[in-house]
Amino acid sequence: MPEQNETKLNIGLFGFGVVGESLYRVLQTNKSLNAQVRKVCIKHADKKRNAPAELFTTDPQDLLRDDNINVIVELIDDADAAYLIVSDALSNKKSVVSANKKMIAEHQDELLELQRTYHTPFLYESACCASIPVIRNLEEYYDNDLLQGISGIVNGSTNYILTRIAEDGLTFEAALKLAQQEGFAESNPALDVEGIDAVNKLTILLTHAYGTVALPKEIVHTGIQNLHAHDATYAKEKGYEIKLVAQAKKLEDGSVAAFVLPQFLKKDNQLYNVKNEYNGVIIESGLADKQFFYGKGAGGFPTASAVLSDLSALRYDYKYEYKKLRYQEPAALAQDFYLRVYVSFDGLFHVPHELFEVIEEWSSNNKRCSVIGIIRFSKLKDESWWKKKNTSLILMPDAFADFVPELKESSASEMFMV
Amino acid sequence: MPEQNETKLNIGLFGFGVVGESLYRVLQTNKSLNAQVRKVCIKHADKKRNAPAELFTTDPQDLLRDDNINVIVELIDDADAAYLIVSDALSNKKSVVSANKKMIAEHQDELLELQRTYHTPFLYESACCASIPVIRNLEEYYDNDLLQGISGIVNGSTNYILTRIAEDGLTFEAALKLAQQEGFAESNPALDVEGIDAVNKLTILLTHAYGTVALPKEIVHTGIQNLHAHDATYAKEKGYEIKLVAQAKKLEDGSVAAFVLPQFLKKDNQLYNVKNEYNGVIIESGLADKQFFYGKGAGGFPTASAVLSDLSALRYDYKYEYKKLRYQEPAALAQDFYLRVYVSFDGLFHVPHELFEVIEEWSSNNKRCSVIGIIRFSKLKDESWWKKKNTSLILMPDAFADFVPELKESSASEMFMV
């Protein structure tokens, strides 16, 4: 078989949870990877581990200052500590594999600069949809292609909750509790259900898809915490599924619209069929047309499988090229466009009507009122009424509205006079 | 950004059809690929081309003997001529990108040997499901993972025809005609509709998934040419879709069951929703669990996008590793297992009943008879009654039967006494 100029990987591993331990086990038996875990840094020395004691240390320097270790695999929860580890390793020309989406999303600029300065590979496939190879595919398959849009269900916890609401008629609270019992949601679920985890992943995707390096706080988002039983009923009546969708779309002016919002999806959307804890990503491009990737987005084994594929790539010194950053003017985040949304709220006069450009439908049953209309994105960006408790905003299936502002006066105010 | 040791790609291109021309255009404007088409070999010199005349030649040697050309891209139809070009190029240490599934499937052993001998990259992502990066993902993501099974809709023509039959109630003949009019089927559609094209792709997948190098003629298959209106009605009643599925599954004894057959699929199978000319592939593995890839499997642009991704990989001298061949005992093709099938045929006594191990259901309306039962795979392999005109065999959704041969006597003969 073809020979490779393979680098032998001597791994320093941070973290020995489910992912870390699976990785350790697979590498012990795997003949082809030419990789070995040399040292593991853990937080709690006294915890019983199913591996030789001499493998473990609590001192990060035992890994970072060991010249025999040429790869750091970072699998810890603490994003701040992870950033220190990763930046130290890259500065010392150790290759790094990380699964820490929060850390990566919050430090993209610095991490890009470190890669630029030290020419050292930093791979993080597992940080985005775990087992779905979306980053590598964006790097390898779409780098020469005009990317029209990317949309995905990138958070398994919220998708599990939404599936339970839709299929079993549970309330949000009951579904969240069940998700926690089943291990699909954290005991502190805010990162997931408020959409922050999805935002972190979207910022990583934006960099590889469009060269747009954005901070999580720049991304307009909400989660599923305010969804109301009324919304679930509406979805059922219309044959929609409600999903939390992270999406980015290239607009005509070359900027990129990006946000994480719940959306009603029709049957013909591939994301409609993504159920339970699964993730799915649709990529639309000029040459390849529409592609869809589906798989487990979290969990020990799916994450370990992505880490393994990164290690496999390190053997031949693979680096992300960030071509959209390197060869093109990175696309700016779009600030001004129109979205078609559904908003439901308690009572009749809660939503500031003047925020809608056009109201296309509204209904009320004396308890809950819902409005479908066109809204200017900048108003979502600058205001927070739509995120308040008891208000839920959901994108319509055809979310991007072809709206011509001149129409505003006549339609919006007129139609809402009730 | 990280530097790469990039090889400048000087391309000799064989074929200037839709794919070839798209490729030429993209490379002309693309800044990042560091690749240029130097010479194009065509068959018909007198055809008007939308490119400078000095680019073209009809003599393959002008490309193959040009030392400045380091990459051959082979995009011609003729599989025999393609093999000569590819083997000549590899022997002269020119990297090769090919889209010719038939040529690759029929010459896998020789092509592997050439790569082994000359250590020269030979990439062919576009040969399998065009825009879906299935080969690279099998190489990069599943190489360290236990692959339980792979199943896919890998032929767009037949899938388009099946969609028209299911959605518009067309007969096979009418649907085929429509597919030809719409450009989704060749004027000679035998390769597609009889399942040969899918077999070619499956043999390529088998090599990358299991290290099983098989010739197309070793793969049990049929296409959709014998599907009967009765079968479509049965599918509709049961809520099934009929799809032509190429599949491989690791059996308990370590061998791999592989075949291309029509199958009834239930809604919960991801392939159920693959419609029209799209392709889809499900990969099931120990670590990553179940993954699904979906996209356009044919056509000029999707094919060109896959060729581009291969060129992109050549810049850093990427080669397939064929790890399942290199580090493991390649899995043998399984010869003995049991399948649950539906067979329909004209009249009552057409099917040799003794071929079934168990008959689970049968029905007849005096014109068409259908039987559901368990059949031994070796009998499909060794006999051809089930491929005859007016007989259609379709796998049941749960195709792999847990059958214990001892049960045969009592059930099969007894139940079929009608």
Band (B30; pLDDT cuts 50, 70, 90): confident
Q: Using the predicted structure, report yes or no on whether residue A412 has a pLDDT greater than 60.
A: no
Q: Using the predicted structure, report yes or no on whether residue A394 has a pLDDT greater than 90.
A: yes
- Token representation of residue B280: 């889809």
Contact A1 B273 (CB under 8 A): no
Which of B41-50, B116-125, B379-388, B408-417 is the most confident on average? B116-125
Give me the mean pLDDT over the A310-331 stretch: 86
Contact B144 A26 (CB under 8 A): yes
- B388 CA to chain A: closest CA distance, Å? 37
Give me the mean pLDDT over the A414-418 stretch: 42
pLDDT score of A67: 96
Q: Using the predicted structure, report yes or no on whether residue A350 has a pLDDT greater than 70.
A: no
Q: Is A32 on the interface with B (CB under 8 A)?
A: yes
Q: Using the predicted structure, report yes or no on whether residue A406 has a pLDDT greater than 80.
A: no
Residues 131 through 150 of chain A touching chain B, CB cutoff 8 Å: 131-133, 136-137, 140-141, 143-145
Band (A165; pLDDT cuts 50, 70, 90): very high
Out of B201, B249, B250, B387, the active site residue is B201
Q: Using the predicted structure, report yes or no on whether residue B41 has a pLDDT greater than 70.
A: yes
Across the interface, of A1, A288, A304, the residue whose CB is closest to B322 is A1
Contact B4 A305 (CB under 8 A): no
The average confidence (pLDDT) of chain B is 90
Contact call for residues A262 and A394 (beta carbons, < 8 A): yes
Q: Using the predicted structure, report yes or no on whether residue A407 has a pLDDT greater than 60.
A: no
pLDDT digits (tens, 9 = 90+) for B144-167: 667 899 999 999 999 999 999 999
Across the interface, of B119, B294, B322, the residue whose CB is closest to A270 is B294
Instruction: Report residue A96: phi and psi, to 5°.
Output: -130, 135
Band (A329; pLDDT cuts 50, 70, 90): confident
Contact call for residues B172 and B185 (beta carbons, < 8 A): no
Instruction: Report residue A86: phi and psi, to 5°.
Output: -65, -40
Out of A39, A201, A324, A387, the active site residue is A201
pLDDT score of A46: 86
Residue B51 CA to residue A209 CA, distance in Å, equals 31
DSSP per-residue letters across B93-122: T-EEEE--HHHHHHTHHHHHHHHHHH---E
Q: Is A323 on the interface with B (CB under 8 A)?
A: yes
pLDDT score of A1: 37
pLDDT score of A415: 45
Give me the mean pLDDT over the B326-347 stretch: 90
Q: Is B183 on the interface with A (CB under 8 A)?
A: no
Question: Taking CA B313 as the corner, what is the angle to CA B310 and CA B319, rounded to the nearest 5 degrees?
Answer: 90
CA A165 to each of CA A139, A194, A369: distance values in angstroms, whole numbers, following the listed order: 36, 16, 20
pLDDT score of B418: 36
Q: Using the predicted structure, report yes or no on whether residue A114 has a pLDDT greater than 80.
A: yes
Nearest to B27 by CA among B318, B300, B312, B319: B312
Domain ranges of chain B: 9-127, 134-254+266-296, 338-415
Nearest to A206 by CA among A235, A242, A170, A246: A246
CATH of domain A338-416: 3.30.70
CATH of region B134-254+266-296, choose from 1.20.140.10, 3.10.180.10, 3.30.360.10, 3.40.30.10? 3.30.360.10
Across the interface, of A1, A137, A322, the residue whose CB is closest to B325 is A1
Across the interface, of A288, A305, A326, the residue whose CB is closest to B1 is A326
- B337 CA to chain A: closest CA distance, Å? 29
Give me the mean pLDDT over the B203-211 stretch: 95
pLDDT score of B194: 96
Contact B112 A30 (CB under 8 A): no
CATH superfamily placement of domain B9-127: NAD(P)-binding Rossmann-like Domain (3.40.50.720)
Residue B276 CA to residue B182 CA, distance in Å, equals 11
Across the interface, of A22, A144, A293, the residue whose CB is closest to B26 is A144
- B208 CA to chain A: closest CA distance, Å? 13
Kindly identify which residue of chain B lies nearest to residue A270, measuring between CA atoms: B273
Q: Is B279 on the interface with A (CB under 8 A)?
A: no
Q: Using the predicted structure, report yes or no on whether residue B409 has a pLDDT greater than 70.
A: no
pLDDT score of A348: 66
Which of A330-344, A358-372, B325-339 is the most confident on average? A330-344
Residues 6+ apart with CB under 8 A from A117: none
pLDDT digits (tens, 9 = 90+) for A129-160: 988 889 988 887 766 667 899 999 999 999 99
The average confidence (pLDDT) of chain A is 90
pLDDT digits (tens, 9 = 90+) for B229-285: 999 999 999 999 999 999 999 999 999 999 999 999 999 999 999 999 999 999 998
Contact call for residues A379 and A355 (beta carbons, < 8 A): yes
Packing angle between helix A108-118 and helix A79-91, nearest 10 degrees? 20
pLDDT score of B275: 95
- B201 against B367, higher pLDDT: B201
pLDDT score of A353: 73
Contact call for residues B204 and B211 (beta carbons, < 8 A): no
pLDDT score of A35: 92
- A106 against B365, higher pLDDT: A106
Residue A155 CA to residue A130 CA, distance in Å, equals 10
CATH of region B338-415, choose from 3.10.450, 3.30.70, 3.30.450, 3.40.225? 3.30.70
For the whole model, what pTM was predicted? 0.89
pLDDT score of B352: 64
CA B159 to each of CA A59, A293, B328, B408: distance values in angstroms, whole numbers, following the listed order: 58, 19, 35, 36
Identify the burial level of A406 via C-beta atoms within 10 angstroms of its C-beta, where 0-12 means exposed, 13-18 middle and 19 or more buried: exposed
Instruction: Report residue B192: phi and psi, to 5°.
Output: -75, -60
Give me the mean pLDDT over the B35-44 stretch: 95
pLDDT score of A88: 98
pLDDT score of B350: 58
pLDDT digits (tens, 9 = 90+) for B89-123: 999 999 999 999 999 999 999 999 999 999 999 99
Q: Using the predicted structure, report yes or no on whether residue A240 has a pLDDT greater than 90.
A: yes
pLDDT score of A2: 36
pLDDT score of B405: 79
pLDDT score of B300: 84
pLDDT score of A351: 59
Would the CA dihedral through A181, A182, A187, A192 be positive or negative?
negative
pLDDT digits (tens, 9 = 90+) for A244-278: 999 999 999 999 999 999 999 999 999 999 999 99
CATH of region A134-296, choose from 3.30.300.280, 3.30.70.260, 3.30.360.10, 3.50.40.10? 3.30.360.10
- B54 CA to chain A: closest CA distance, Å? 26
Choice among A412-416, B61-65, B100-104 with the minimum mean pLDDT = A412-416
